[in-house]
Structure 1
């Protein structure tokens, strides 16, 4: 496999976009969403579909993670992932400190602010652990497949890495945030049928988004590679 590319002109842009999407998705994930009427089959909840607000943008972090791993290699992808982890942890601590600070006497939104952005240990732990494991696995699988296939079969490594990473990410987050592990951390849990639905919908949706956006991912990777090649030739 060719040597990893050193960071160049577009690296900061890709990493900044990656971290920004991650932080926005983490805040949006505090809201659970149900879509459709109630319907169960054999004790398994089919409807409503259960997801969270993070599903709107979070799949895009995997696309940018693929770009980092494909163009720059595992080392640069790992650095971006660790940076995202650190910024997410910093965001959580900041929300904790701000939530604990005494509100102004004429500010009446303290309870609302804390209920949305307050430090919820199980949500924070779930988000950070799931993100770290999922993204690192995604990057590692992509690079390992590339070592065997070279530059060919990009779609194979993109989809395979996404399936592996998103499965671990979704399973870990849902189990800790709203499953039995959440109870151990002092939180509640949703019923098992709803939890299974939550995991399944989240996984299928995230993988589906990347599959649909595969042509766009191809173009982004190609554009970044052309730009980096042009910069290296200066």
Structure 2
């Protein structure tokens, strides 16, 4: 019996690929759910409000444990994945429907991402995540391993504000926001909500960062 000798490149045991996959998935899914404008009483937001803050939490873990360069790779991976998703959606929409397929209008309505929203999301994402990571690393150079809460909070405020302002400014008209009052509501609610979620989840972020550091032999 012949035995074929094969060579394989060993895969390092690390949590980075899993965190990267979660980070990219949240970003892509958020861009789809953000197509829906949402009103909760006096609050105006979008369908991604409950999910997107998790991207910043995971981004904090990636930056704190693996550094700015690894986080920058994650940011560009998410950017490329979103572009691929948009291209795939439009190709699928353009393909001729089978005679028995009657859901083309709904399919096109849901996955025909509005270019204005995609642009706003990509711009906000690139600027916000980059600032979030840069500020966290800059603060870490000053504080070392101490004051993790200050690094997480400071980086979140800067990153989330830039992300929210740019995103809202670009996409507001696409989801029907036409007055300054509604725009300010959209920006303030988005920023406060995302920042509040990260503050509430900070104990979890602390625990995840500590666990990943221990697992990775930090």
2:216 match: secondary structure: helix
* Deviation >6 Å, runs of 4+: none
TM-score (norm 1): 0.85
Q: Which residue of 1 aligns with 2:36?
A: 31
Q: Which residue of 2 aligns with 1:76?
A: 70
Structure 1 residue 65 corresponds to structure 2 residue 53: no
Over residues 15-65 of structure 1, what are the superposed CA-to-partner deviations in whole Å (9 max), with x where a residue is unaligned? 1111111111111111110011xxxxxxxxxxx201111111110010000
Q: Is the Cα–Cα contact under 8 Å of residues 136 and 152 in structure 2 kept in the other structure? A: yes
Q: Is the Cα–Cα contact under 8 Å of residues 89 and 128 in structure 1 kept in the other structure? A: no
Q: Which residue of 2 aligns with 1:10?
A: 15
5+ residue gaps in structure 2?
1-11
Aligned with residue 135 of structure 1, among 121, 129, 135: 129
- Flag the 1:192–1:116 CA change in 2: closer, same or farther, 3 A: farther
- Flag the 1:29–1:196 CA change in 2: closer, same or farther, 3 A: same
Q: Which residue of 1 aligns with 2:211?
A: 223
Q: Distance in 1 between matches of 2:79 and 2:170?
A: 17
Q: Distance in 2 between matches of 1:190 and 1:64?
A: 33
Q: Which residue of 1 aligns with 2:185?
A: 197
Q: Is the Cα–Cα contact under 8 Å of residues 68 and 77 in structure 1 kept in the other structure? A: yes
Q: CA RMSD in A?
A: 1.5
Q: Which residue of 1 aligns with 2:110?
A: 116
Count of matched residue positions in the alignment of Structure 1 and Structure 2 = 207
TM-score (norm 2): 0.91
Q: Which residue of 2 aligns with 1:106?
A: 100
Q: Distance in 2 between matches of 1:178 and 1:75?
A: 32
Q: Is the Cα–Cα contact under 8 Å of residues 35 and 113 in structure 2 kept in the other structure? A: no
CA displacement at 1:189 relative to structure 2: 4.7
Q: Which residue of 2 aligns with 1:45?
A: none
CA displacement at 1:192 relative to structure 2: 2.1
Q: Distance in 2 between matches of 1:129 and 1:216?
A: 28
Q: Is the Cα–Cα contact under 8 Å of residues 171 and 199 in structure 1 kept in the other structure? A: yes
